[in-house]
Homo-oligomer: A and B are copies of this chain.
Amino acid sequence: MINPFDDIYFMKRALQEAQLAFDKNEVPIGAVIVMNNQVIARAHNLTETLNDVTAHAEMQAFTAASDFLGGKYLKECTLYVTLEPCQMCAGASYWTQIGKIVYGASEKKRGFLALKTTLHPKTKVLGGILEEESASLLKRFFIEKRNLN
């Protein structure tokens, strides 16, 4: 059966969010949370706008998804995020008991894999979906930043 709602599709939705961050001069990272092929939350990094280091795309998406569902746990949900989550966001995912995390580009230095953050035992992980697109948006952002300074 043809399914248009695949990982590529939802990562593109997360990339749209990352582009919104880019347009606001925020480090371009975007996330969506999906349940039964429906996007129930979307968010992008707002750490500069909100002057708050906790305002990562994933954190906002967790809060929004719980609010939408009226329940604290996201067991039946998948998080799509353009960059590998950090310790804080992976640590938050532990508490949400999210079913799956799909990320785009790797974060070799501050990502949860390098820093060995413990996920919930039921959370599956898949990386590298639209990795190049996610990474190139980030790279473009930092090149433009450098040229402005």
CA distance A81 to B71 in the complex (A): 26
Contact of A96 among B53, B96, B116 (CB under 8 A): B53
Give the size category of A's interface with B: 20 to 34
Output the least CB separation between A13 and chain B (Å). Answer: 22
A62 interface hit (Cβ, 8 Å):
yes
CA distance A43 to B63 in the complex (A): 18
Contact of A115 among B71, B73, B117 (CB under 8 A): B117
**Stretch from A84-92, A122-130, A141-149 contacting the other chain:** A84-92
- Extra A-B contacts (5), CB below 8 Å, given A52-B62, A87-B88: A51-B67, A53-B96, A87-B90, A88-B88, A88-B92
Enumerate chain A interface residues (CB-CB to B < 8 A): 47, 51-54, 59, 62-63, 66-67, 70-73, 86-92, 94-96, 115-118
| Docked-complex contact A53 and B91, CB < 8 angstroms | no
Output the least CB separation between A85 and chain B (Å). Answer: 9
CA distance A68 to B49 in the complex (A): 15
| Docked-complex contact B117 and A87, CB < 8 angstroms | yes
